[in-house]
Structure 1
Amino acid sequence: MATKYLLKGGTVATCVQGSDAPQVYKADVLVEGNTITRIGQDIAPAAGVEVIDCENKWITPGFVDTHRHLFMTVLRGNHCDMLLSEYFIKMSWTVQGTLTPSEVAIGTLAGCLDALHNGVTTILDHFHAAHTPAHADAALRAVLESGARVIWAPARQSPPTQVFPSIEFGHEPGATQWQREKLRELGAPNAGKLRPDGRVTLGLAYDAIWQGPMSTHQEFLAYARSIPVSVITAHVVQGPQITQWRDGGLLGPDVVFSHCNVLADRPAPDDEMWAALKESGAAIASTPEDELGMAHGNPVALDALRRGVKCGLGVDATSINSGDIFTQMRFALQWARGHDHERIHLAKETAPFRNKFSSADAFRLGTLGGAEALGLSSLIGTVEVGKRADLVIFDANSVNLAGTADPITGVVFHAASEDVDAVLVDGEVVKRGGKLVRDWAPVARELKKCADDIRERWPEDKLQERWKKWYDANGAPVF
């Protein structure tokens, strides 16, 4: 198996650290081991180097997903029409706690392969189904097997032991103890590296800030950082968590908050939540497609870019929406443009000369922006010498892309998974000739079997009955 590749005759399209403008230029790219070692014109292939013909192809960085629940691919399509509150009752507090380790494992593996197929090479996996040690072990094995670059962040939480008449979490004391021990067991031997080469690292998902005294959270997060975990991630939708984390002294550049729709339409540049993020170096993971559809609130990705707050994009879950970053880039960009245009129309302001936000802004969010949010911009996010070889090769002659002059606009507005000809992660080819290197058929068979089993256990009428019971008693709470 070749460990050296020469990507010959392609067009490189990449952001560059320290610049707001992406670069597009013709060049060969030499990959040796897991690293980009040379970029230039007319590089001659040496012995032992496999040449990949990139004429009429674009070479971009691998796309970075800063918020995904990989295991939920086993529930693909189940939540597309749900409100967030409905999803909590039907999925998070009902179906999720009944999933078996094998169902979690196949969902995680399929989720990783879905990402790679779409050119997503790096994923922050907020794994909130670590209900037992067996569930955690099964999910991690699937991540390691997939070949993706993953920050695997098991959640510090347990499933509810009761939903009606009020929600209770009776397993919390035991879950806290074994999850604490599991973090140390996995992370301590190799400083948080879960693969010796560092392609998979340990993170922590921590949505427990609303439970118990602040001192409990301060102690647990200090413990996790001592292991160390590479990233700590938490959901923020419309709640006060950002200031809670700030006031508890918990913020830092290793924190990634998902969604942050509470920040939308806050005009003051010194707003305390925005200021807390910028001053601490904490980041946002924006998932505009499901945020708009599930009533999270308005997306803030381009606001973050404008304010100098680190931000990347994410899919959230393929049970809710698509699994590619192309769609997220389009949603983020067009939402920001539309919202700006609406403001101008309502204020009867003079029409602008051009759009405030560009394709280059969206491309940055999907690549370098995501790498910065995850603290990985020294390794990935751009096509530059010395960076890890996480690369995507697009067929510029495809039905979707042929005739497009600019690869940046082409990728942001026209690309889809079928245009992704090849994908490399850490110098390993995981997609070639438009197909995954990993045999997808057996994965699909197991995925379908498990999905059917779950739907048989939880038919829609049964779930709808639970949701109506909750809604009639409580309404639709804002999270």
Structure 2
Amino acid sequence: MDSGRVTDFLVEDGRIAATGLDLPAPAGAEAVDATGMLVSPGFVDTHRHTWQAGLRGMGPDISLATYLDLVLGTVGPRYRPEDVYTGTLAGALECLDAGITTLVDWNHIQHTPEHTAAAVDALKVSGIRAVFGYCSHKPELARRVQASMGGRVTMAMAPFGPEIAGEDVALDEWRIARELDLSVTVHMGGHGKESAARGLDFLRRNGFLGPRTSYAHGNHYTDEQLKLIAGSGGAIAVSPVVEMELGIGAPVTARARKAGVPTGLGADTVISGPGDMFSLMRADYAHMRLESDLTARDIFRAATEDGARVAAIDGVGTLETGSHADVVLLRTDLPGVAPVHDPVASVVLAMDTRAVDSVIVGGQFVKRDGRLLAPDVSTLLTTLAESAARVTASA
């Protein structure tokens, strides 16, 4: 997305096969004219509770404690497998509509194996590239879920411990991740300084401090603790709007990057924040500029290439030859967007979901000419509204 750069992309078998000017089109290939548009890697959401799409905007002014009581204590227990399916499918399509092609779905609505299967099925049907964050300390269940992965959906371990569920549960969770060779996405560092220190010490003592680990939030880590995470190969998923809105803490992006920790962006929950990457980029950029000289390009990388590192998934977040053909075409002919002087600045500071003209995942269109290609979106949204009305009754 360098200013003034015009190029062609050749996509074969779901990957970018070549880039350059005037590439010859193979026989039978479809030519897509993106003249006047910006061609971007698909965005990577590194931390989202996707099933909560039907709870949008329920908690604009609440605290973390109130959020947890609402989700884990009141509304969450009312979810049936069909509610999980509907919410997850709607949430995944919301991502695709906004140009998010890769999603880390931190799924903590797994009341039964049927709830888990419903979430996985919804991700597969949506067409998004997803890392399914599985919460369980029972190895036989984890192995069964891992065997159900397929297509664009892979699995990560999503431990509740050591900071939420405690160290005994955490030992089982992290051992399962190691046994099944899974990456880890975990809520850590967002529950106060003492909890952050205890959690990292637990990982260090038990040999779990290592790569392919994404720490969601991390707001209360000291600079030295961030350097420890950097040295171990870990990464941090920052949810800038929700972290500030729920009072979790100031986003750690600038300090983490200074310490050498890759950072990505995540919506976390649409209960208390927006679900599109443009809003997340702007919020994190504005906060970051208060305390550092990091740039719009740094934030764009967090939403794409660095986000892929946080998600521990290869071949996404870039437009390099060999990468998955996960591509977003962005309109520049809109009021509030035109004219474009700096493409990256336009994406980070000026654009919103109106600009997302087309979205390609694995070489296949999932949105084209401003319209999602998924069937029966209107029916899905009606079902989502009915599900939301049921689970939130008297909440």
Same fold (TM over 0.5): yes
**Displacement of 1:368 after TM fit?**
0.7
1:367 and 2:367 equivalent? no
Q: Deviations over 1:40-93 (max 9, x none)?
A: 111232321111111001101000011000001121111222111111122222
Alpha-carbon distance in 2 for matches of 1:57, 1:382:
17
Q: Give the structure 1 partner of residue 174 of structure 2.
A: 221
Q: Deviations over 1:382-408 (max 9, x none)?
A: 111111101110011122322122110
One-letter amino acid matched to 2:342: D
Alignment of 1:297-446 (within 5 A): 297-339=249-291, 356-376=293-313, 378-439=314-375, 440-446=377-383
User: Is this contact kept in 2: 1:27–1:40, CA < 8 A?
Assistant: yes
Alpha-carbon distance in 2 for matches of 1:421, 1:73:
22
Match of 1:448 among 363, 372, 385: 385
Using the size of structure 1 for normalisation, the TM-score is 0.78
Change (3 A) 1:101 1:216: closer
Alpha-carbon distance in 2 for matches of 1:84, 1:299:
15
User: Is this contact kept in 1: 2:41–2:319, CA < 8 A?
Assistant: yes
**Displacement of 1:422 after TM fit?**
0.6
Alpha-carbon distance in 2 for matches of 1:80, 1:292:
11
**Displacement of 1:214 after TM fit?**
4.5
Using the size of structure 2 for normalisation, the TM-score is 0.93
Q: Deviations over 1:123-166 (max 9, x none)?
A: 1111011111111111111111110000001223xxxxxxxxxx
Aligned to 2:31, the other structure's residue is in SS state strand
**Displacement of 1:371 after TM fit?**
0.7
Q: Deviations over 1:294-321 (max 9, x none)?
A: 1001101122222211111100011221
User: Is this contact kept in 2: 1:302–1:333, CA < 8 A?
Assistant: no
1:26 and 2:26 equivalent? no
Aligned to 1:231, the other structure's residue is in SS state strand
Change (3 A) 1:220 1:338: closer
User: Is this contact kept in 1: 2:161–2:169, CA < 8 A?
Assistant: no
Aligned to 2:124, the other structure's residue is in SS state helix
**Displacement of 1:231 after TM fit?**
3.3
Change (3 A) 1:154 1:219: closer
Alpha-carbon distance in 1 for matches of 2:263, 2:8:
30
Could you list the runs of 4 or more consecutive aligned residues of structure 1 that deviate by over 3 angstroms after TM superposition? 210-220
Alignment of 1:19-418 (within 5 A): 25-156=5-136, 176-177=137-138, 180-187=139-146, 189=147, 194-195=149-150, 197=151, 199-210=152-163, 214=167, 217-237=170-190, 238=192, 239-240=195-196, 241-263=199-221, 266=222, 269=223, 271=224, 273-339=225-291, 356-376=293-313, 378-418=314-354
Alpha-carbon distance in 2 for matches of 1:367, 1:261:
21
Change (3 A) 1:403 1:210: closer
User: Is this contact kept in 2: 1:243–1:276, CA < 8 A?
Assistant: no
Alpha-carbon distance in 2 for matches of 1:278, 1:404:
36
One-letter amino acid matched to 1:288: P
User: Is this contact kept in 2: 1:207–1:235, CA < 8 A?
Assistant: no
Q: Deviations over 1:242-265 (max 9, x none)?
A: 3322232212112111011103xx
Percent identical: 31
One-letter amino acid matched to 1:399: P
Aligned to 2:344, the other structure's residue is in SS state helix
Aligned to 2:5, the other structure's residue is in SS state strand
One-letter amino acid matched to 1:359: A
Q: Deviations over 1:19-57 (max 9, x none)?
A: xxx676210111112100111111232321111111001
**Displacement of 1:326 after TM fit?**
1.1
Change (3 A) 1:382 1:23: farther
Alpha-carbon distance in 1 for matches of 2:129, 2:164:
32
Aligned to 1:399, the other structure's residue is in SS state coil
User: Is this contact kept in 2: 1:69–1:128, CA < 8 A?
Assistant: yes
Alpha-carbon distance in 2 for matches of 1:89, 1:27:
51
Change (3 A) 1:212 1:297: closer
User: Is this contact kept in 2: 1:301–1:313, CA < 8 A?
Assistant: no
User: Is this contact kept in 2: 1:242–1:276, CA < 8 A?
Assistant: no
Alpha-carbon distance in 2 for matches of 1:399, 1:47:
38
**Displacement of 1:211 after TM fit?**
7.2
**Displacement of 1:437 after TM fit?**
0.6
Change (3 A) 1:399 1:128: same
One-letter amino acid matched to 2:5: Y
With 330-339 and 403-412 compared, the bigger mean Cα shift is at: 330-339
CA RMSD, Structure 1 to Structure 2 (Å): 1.9
User: Is this contact kept in 2: 1:124–1:153, CA < 8 A?
Assistant: yes
Alpha-carbon distance in 2 for matches of 1:90, 1:213:
21
Q: Deviations over 1:255-303 (max 9, x none)?
A: 111011103xx4xx5x1x1122011111100000111111001101122
**Displacement of 1:219 after TM fit?**
4.4
One-letter amino acid matched to 2:213: V
Structure 1 unmatched ranges of 5 or more: 1-12, 14-21, 157-175, 341-355, 460-479
